[in-house]
Amino acid sequence: MELVGEFVRVETDEEHSAVAVIRIDRPKALNALNAQVTREIAEAAAGVSADASVRSVVLYGGERAFVAGADIKEMADLGHAQMLEYSRGLQNALTAVARIPKPVVAAVSGYALGGGCELALAADFRVAGAKAKLGLPEITLGVIPGAGGTQRLPRLVGPARAKDLIFTGRHVRAQEALEIGLVDEVVADEEVYAAAVARVARFADGPAVALAAAKETVDRGLETDLDSGLEIERLHFSGLFATEDQKTGMRSFIERGPGKAEFSGR
């Protein structure tokens, strides 16, 4: 699929036609998320979610910066009432990214700070370049993370590590990010994009409905108690018996052994 905004494009990866790339491209401001970028990210997330030919997604900001945060210049002079309105856009956009019903990886090169780190946290996986720097520096601006950082980061790395990053606002280098589980893989800077694509391209031939169910079950289950989570799991599991891929997968196992099924994604 192709979708072109001024600052955000949806492209198809050159080698993997089922991998869509949400490319954030506002280099003069290190991809800072102003209202327009935010809106375009939400549109891109809706577009890749709805397009059945897209089987997985890469978020990429180019080599110098993933995203250096929300646009400080745009929000500096807002008052409380204006921020109540403004704040919806960014949270909604990142929620739209988190809810993309397909595997999503953030390819983090350079800075992923504040809202940029929060955008990466909305992905399923994070691949970082060796020189990448991640962090939530909002406290140095006199505020706190506002697009999921206080919620998604502790779920990922634990409360004490999250509080360390949020209270200090310090930048974390890629290696430390890997050690605390903030990123999943560190590669040479020039390999970030390719490594991220490789991480999700493998799902292109997978059972798309089951992958979406797996994602939703994990994510929703983390938000609730164990009993409710198990119920969400049971319902999704049962629902998959309405798919072609469940029949194909199980028949293939019985006739040809494990791991040989060719899925339609339906």
113 with 68: CB under 8 angstroms?
yes
Regarding 68 and contact with ligand DAK (CB under 6 A), the answer is yes
Minimum distance from CB of 38 to ligand DAK (Å)? 9
Minimum distance from CB of 198 to ligand DAK (Å)? 27
Regarding 195 and contact with ligand DAK (CB under 6 A), the answer is no
Q: Largest alpha-carbon pair distance within the chain?
A: 66
φ, ψ dihedrals at 233, nearest 5°? -60, -45
Residue 216 annotated in active site: no
Select the residue interacting with ligand DAK from 20, 61, 66, 69 (CB under 6 A).
69
Regarding 96 and contact with ligand DAK (CB under 6 A), the answer is no
**Structural element, H or E, at residue 148:** none
Burial class (CB in 10 A: 0-12, 13-18, 19+), 12: middle
Residue closer to ligand DAK by CB (options 61, 114) is 114
Which ranges constitute the DSSP H helices of the chain?
A: 35-50, 72-75, 80-98, 115-121, 149-157, 159-168, 174-180, 192-201, 208-222, 226-239, 244-256
Regarding 113 and contact with ligand DAK (CB under 6 A), the answer is yes
Name the active-site residue from 138, 185, 191, 216: 138
# of chain residues touching ligand DAK (CB under 6 A): 22
The DSSP-derived string for 186-244 is EE-GGGHHHHHHHHHHTTTTS-HHHHHHHHHHHHHHHTS-HHHHHHHHHHHHHHGGGSH
Name the active-site residue from 2, 15, 85, 118: 118
Residue closer to ligand DAK by CB (options 162, 210) is 162
The one segment of 63-71, 120-128, 159-167, 235-243 that binds ligand DAK by CB under 6 A: 63-71
Contact footprint for ligand DAK (CB under 6 A): 29-30, 32, 68-73, 86-87, 90-91, 111, 113-115, 137-138, 141, 146-147
